[in-house]
Structure formats: C-alpha cells, structure tokens
C-alpha cells in the first residue's frame, strides 16, 4: 500500500513516517518521537523550532542528527560543528562571524547534487547548520554491505559525471569553493531517484580564505590530495 505526500505528491509506503523526497511528516510529531524513544537514542530540544530524533553520523568535525523542524513540519538534518571553530579561535578570528559567513555561503548554493542549507543557529557555544534530510545511504555503506565485487562500469561513470558537475558548480563560484573531502562516505545515494548528493561541508572553504586552507588534521588517507596531506594550500585540482 502507498500514500501520497500532501506537499510534493511523492508516493510513500503506508508505514513511512516522513516523505522520502521532501521530508514532510506523514504522521504526528508525537508518534514519530515515540518511535525513536527506545532508550538507546537520546532525544533533545535544540530550540523552540528544532528537536533531535537520533544521531546519524559522528566524526572529527562534529555530529549530524536527524531532527524535526516544527515550523515546517518536516524532517531535517542538523549538523553540529565543534572542533573547527576552536581551531580558528586560536587564529584570533571571531568564530561567530566566521560561522555566520560560511553558513550564508552554503545557503546560497543551489544544485541538484547538493543538500539545501536553509538555517543556522548557535546554542551554548555549539554551531548548527540545518539542511534537507537525505533519505538514502552513503556509498561507503553500500560498498561495505551490498557489494563485494564493485559496481557496474556504466553506473560508476554516471556517478562520476554527477560528481564532476557539482564540483564544477563549486569551483566556478566567486570565490571558488574547494570541497577537500571527496570520499565514498561523503556521497549519498538518494533512495527516491538514485541521485548522488555531496554531503558534509565541514572543511569546505572559499579559496580566498588562506588562513585555514590546509587543516592537515582532517585528511582522509587514501582520498585526500598529496598537497592536503602535506599541509599545503589546496585549489580546485585538489578535489579532482
């Protein structure tokens, strides 16, 4: 059995609690929160507008939560940024101003292979970005769980074309944005249409920002470029 989302008309299963395309709640907020209250997951309110349902991902740059946007009645992804702003405080840049500048930069991006960032806020010295929730799996998980022998060449070529398109979009902005963390774990495959979404802009930087262009502490062995591993300045070639 299926049911239509009343916001985007996407067909969803009758037991789906939110739309797989737009994140619209298909059930009541209270029943959704109850379904995540298993004792394993820690629920919490970040503000009058946002509540956390569960932790999606945790890493060196912070955490990503599944949350509820009460104003829009939809599921969202909430990224908590920590370490980066501690580092930049030592460089004596106002961390609040830096965060607001970069949040607005990300919110200005508009591309089908990027999540939409539509809000940001600060709570108790922690910095949060709010973006569209992507229903799907990252390529690393898909590789580990479902595919021991690799993927069909035609599928990989299509993925590469999508990634080249979104990197071109970033690199051709003024100033260019260098993503600097391209790896399977940061590439989501959307369940609804198998589109790739480039996620986790934790260390993406405009090239005009020279002070923290290397961030050598956040390299990924096997994926980071040689110049990034060496702590040197990155440019668009580093992503490619």
User: Choosing from 119, 181, 200, 239, which is the catalytic residue?
Assistant: 181
* pLDDT, tens digit (0-9, with 9 covering 90-100), for 68-99: 998 888 899 998 876 555 544 455 457 777 77
| Cα dist from 94 to 87, 89, 102, 112, 124, whole Å | 11, 7, 12, 32, 16
Q: Note if 181 is an active site residue.
A: yes
Under DSSP, the state recorded for 18 is B
Q: What is the pTM of this model?
A: 0.76
Structural element, H or E, at residue 170? helix 153-171
Q: What does the pLDDT read at residue 164?
A: 95
**Helix (H, G, I), strand (E, B), or coil: what is residue 185?**
helix
Q: What does the pLDDT read at residue 208?
A: 43
**How do strand 62-69 and strand 196-198 relate by DSSP bridges?**
unpaired
**CA–CA gap between residue 146 and residue 7 (Å, rounded):** 33
**Residues with pLDDT less than 50, the chain:** 39-42, 87-89, 92, 208, 210-214
Q: What does the pLDDT read at residue 205?
A: 58
């Amino acid at each position: 059995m299926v049911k239509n989302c009343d916001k985007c008309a996407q067909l969803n299963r009758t037991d789906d609690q939110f739309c797989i395309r737009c994140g619209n709640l298909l059930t009541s907020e209270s029943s959704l929160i109850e379904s995540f209250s298993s004792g394993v997951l820690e629920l919490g309110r970040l503000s009058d507008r946002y509540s956390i349902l569960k932790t999606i991902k945790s890493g060196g740059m912070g955490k990503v939560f599944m949350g509820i946007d009460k104003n829009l009645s939809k599921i969202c992804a909430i990224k908590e940024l920590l370490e980066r702003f501690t580092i930049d405080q030592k460089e004596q840049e106002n961390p609040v101003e830096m965060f607001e500048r970069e949040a607005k930069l990300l919110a200005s991006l508009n591309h089908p292979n990027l999540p939409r960032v539509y809000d940001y806020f600060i709570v108790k010295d922690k910095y949060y970005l709010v973006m569209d929730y992507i229903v799907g799996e990252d390529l690393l998980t898909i590789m580990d769980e479902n595919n021991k022998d690799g993927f069909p060449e035609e599928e990989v070529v299509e993925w590469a074309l999508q990634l080249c398109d979104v990197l071109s979009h970033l690199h051709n902005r003024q100033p260019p944005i260098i993503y600097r963390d391209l790896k399977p774990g940061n590439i989501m495959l959307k369940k609804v249409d198998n589109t790739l979404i480039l996620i986790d802009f934790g260390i993406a930087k405009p090239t005009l920002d020279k002070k923290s262009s290397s961030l050598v502490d956040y390299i990924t062995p096997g994926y980071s470029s040689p110049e990034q591993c060496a702590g040197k300045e990155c440019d668009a070639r580093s992503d490619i």
